[in-house]
Amino acid sequence: MKKGKQVLKPGEVKERFNHLHSERATWENHWQELADYILPNRNDINVVITPGSKRNTIILDNSAIQANELLAGAMHGLLTNPSTTWFDLTTGDKELDRLDAVRLWLQKQTRKIHNVMNNSNFQTEVHQYYLDLTCLGTSSMSIEEDDEMIVRFSTKHIREVYVSENNKGVIDEVYRKFKWNIRAIVAEFGIEVLEMSKSLKTAWEKNTNIKFEIINAVYPRDVADNNFKDSRRYISQYIICAESEKQLRLDYYREFPYVVARWTKAAGEIYGRSPGMNALPDAKTLNKMTETTLKGAQKTVDPPLQLPDDGFIHPIDTRPSGLNYYRSGTNDRIEPIFNDARIDFGFQAMQERRQRVREAFFVDQLQLGAGPQMTATEVLQRTEEKMRLLGPMLGRQQAEFLRPMVSRVFEIMSRAGMIDQAPEALEGRTLDVNYSSMVAKAQRVNDMQTIMQTMQAVNPFVAADQSVLDNFNGDIAVRVIAEGYGFPQEILRTEEEIVSLREQRAQAQEQAMQAQQEQQQTENAIKGVPAMATMEQAQE
């Protein structure tokens, strides 16, 4: 029997954390510099900043900050828009998904999950998640069960998070190091933790605000362990670093409670790289150019003066309407040292750098260009083109962020009894997630356009021979188009209803034909009576 992974001892957790910390050390200076110029509310990665103090003291140009916020906001609206359902549950089998009962059940559970997430703190946390992702390249969020909101989300500061990949390149270990005061520790872990350490007890008795370091380690168990009582696949340990390492709490999870996404990843690296890293050189250069240009503008507006060492009565008055006296008979003048300054060149050079920053954050792809008198169709087509351009860059977010997040929320809701009983067709089937966000819809629109273009192309043949339509299954075409555009299943009739409706229509048509035939026979009979009477009179 294969021996399962045992729970680590507190000292082993600290040792594992130190190893991950040393692996991450080379990234911290890079992240600090990125945060200094692009994400100042996170620029305490390897420095200590007093709460409430200014964080943007070195920034003279905020172009990179605004571009990062634009990209993060666009991802929020495109991927996880709160006003629209941005994902669909699926079995992975298109034929099974198209069964009326299955599709109706899937859509209903999708709306439930969407409502739970909107009623939680997801929308407030996910924006910071995107800001971290687009600037720092790596962002993490915890997903916990909650008695009030069902699900509770929390975006973690990159300063706290240390991760490790498994053999498949999937992050399955997260170690967090953070600081709490004694009141927060007791509120979370109970009063009994005071017996673990003399320093904890002293801090509680004196009611001090001293903060203690805590490590939270989340890592997988070995699924081959026969000691499993259930499907709790992950271990979560809380270790306090006070005097000596002590375990505060041991938990188990059925699903990995973190989602950690990278914008893109270089071979051999664990942490991600970001648009902010591409924009950083231009952001730093732009900051320096702004400083130089401001100095040049100041010299132009209030230039240094050159004047003779004799002839003027000092001090020189440079205020507006100031009067300066000089000896008569002299031609000496007060003149600026620089009289040909070209600060406009500095502004032009800065504008070019700003454009490069915008390009690094895909601002041009996110904003719809203003065309002359664009029609609604042209606007839609341009939007779809931009969404398709962004699609490949967002593919990693679907795999590392959206899919595991929705799966985790689904399982939490299922354990809470909030998921309806599945139809028989789904017995033993696992579910997956498809994305119906604006990006995903834009990518699927091409399939819908293919159907419409095909139907338009065969119109001339249909006009010549109506039997050409026998090549197409109109019912399936309508359902494929409705599915592609995310049409609600409740509005569509089921196949049984369609069959019943057509049978009723056929019966009604048959009855109408019979009634017409009977009416025609009656009319013929009525018309035939006078004719027969005339014939009988003629025979007499």
Per residue in 133-151, pLDDT (tens digit) is 999 999 999 999 998 899 9
- Residue for token pair 């860059």: 393
Looking at residue 123, its pLDDT comes to 92
Residue 4: predicted pLDDT: 45
- Name which residue leads in pLDDT, 389 or 84: 84
The pLDDT of 249-272, averaged and rounded, is 93
Q: Are 263 and 38 contacting, i.e. CB atoms less than 8 angstroms apart?
A: no
pLDDT of residue 173: 95
**How far lies 525's CA from each of 68, 529, 535, in Å?**
87, 7, 15
Q: Which residue has the tokens 């014939």?
A: 535
Please report the sign of the dihedral spanned by the C-alpha atoms of residue 144, residue 147, residue 149, residue 155: negative
So what's the pLDDT on residue 387?
Answer: 64
Band (3; pLDDT cuts 50, 70, 90): very low
DSSP single-letter state for residue 244: E
pLDDT averaged over the chain? Answer: 83
pLDDT at 534: 65
Q: Is the pLDDT of residue 275 over 50?
A: yes
Q: What is the pLDDT of residue 1?
A: 31
pLDDT at 419: 92
pLDDT(359) > 80: yes
Average pLDDT over residues 272-294: 91
Verdict on whether the full-model pTM lies above 0.75: yes
Encode pLDDT of 480-503 as tens digits: 777 666 677 666 777 777 778 888
* pLDDT band at residue 382 under the 50/70/90 scheme: low
Residue 270 DSSP code? S
List pLDDT tens digits, range 184-209: 999 999 999 888 888 899 999 988 88
pLDDT one-digit tens code per residue, 388-426: 666 667 778 888 999 999 999 999 999 999 999 988 888
Strand runs labelled E in 271-345: 305-306, 335-336
Instruction: For residues 93-114, give the mean pLDDT.
Output: 87
Contact 390, 362 (CB under 8 A): yes
What percentage of the chain exceeds 70 in pLDDT? Answer: 81
State residue 316's pLDDT score.
Answer: 75
249 vs 193: CA distance, rounded Å: 10
> Residue 75 has what pLDDT?
86
The one-letter code for the residue type at 401 is F
